[in-house]
Amino acid sequence: MTSDTTYAGPFGRGARAYRAAGWHGVLPIGRQPARKYPPPSAFTGHGKPDPSGADIEAWLDGPEAAYNIGLRLPPGVLGLDVDAYPGKRGGDVLAELLAAHGPLPATWITSARTDGVSGIRLYRVPLAIDGHEINWPGEAGKHIELIQHGHRYAVVWPSVNPEASGAQYEWRTQPADSDEYMSTNGVIPRPDALPWLPEPWVRGLMLPYARTDKATLGSADLAAYWEALR
């Protein structure tokens, strides 16, 4: 899958290619080029929709075409966002998780860093287990966030990372005969081609209780609630 050369910016170059590859949550990131935050309002978080094709085309015709590009992961895809650069100990925590839950299959990783560990590793995950919907925490441990449909997004190629001296994000994969992740030179993965997160990892990371949303109370309900508190 190649990028669109019609536009110069990361979102302009990559938006249509990512959507064609099966990523529907394609977002322009930042309010100016070369930023990692914020995403556009109303398209991230629990219960929020993915952008439509019309939304993406409108962004392509606006200043957003010059912005970085992010992917809101679809349900059933989880990202392990490991920070292992100076001041972050995600690499040590990842080693502890590997010892506890076993090896991880080779997968795709998005990163602008070259330490060989930092980046977001992507895996398919079940929506439910033992008859119950899976609820994921916000992190797997210190300096390892869990990127998921209702929480955060993944900044991806051809974006640049202002926190890594403007380095460009790359998609990397792990060859069968190597422990190193290698650049894919702009090849975009498909979400349905990602490997499955092993079951011990699923059970080790998932929360043992259901997620709850904020309640919406009308004025009469609020009055009754305050009266009950008294």
Q: What is the pLDDT along the chain (230 residues), one digit of tens a residue?
A: 556 656 679 999 999 999 999 999 999 999 999 999 999 999 999 999 999 999 999 999 999 999 999 999 999 999 999 999 999 999 999 999 999 999 999 999 999 999 989 999 999 999 999 999 999 999 999 999 999 999 999 999 999 999 999 999 999 997 766 667 788 888 999 999 999 999 999 999 999 876 555 555 566 665 665 565 54
Residue 210 lies in a domain: no
C-alpha 71/C-alpha 149 separation (Å) is 10
The domain containing residue 163 runs over which residues? 10-205
Residue 153 lies in a domain: yes
C-alpha 108/C-alpha 120 separation (Å) is 8
CA proximity to 81, closest of 42, 36, 133, 44:
36
Residue 218 lies in a domain: no
Q: Where are the alpha helices (DSSP H) in 102-217?
A: 199-205
Full-model pTM: 0.87
Residue 60 lies in a domain: yes
Total domains present in the chain: 1
Q: What proportions of the chain, in percent to the nearest 5, are helix, strand and coil?
A: 25, 25, 50
Residue 229 lies in a domain: no
Residue 163 lies in a domain: yes
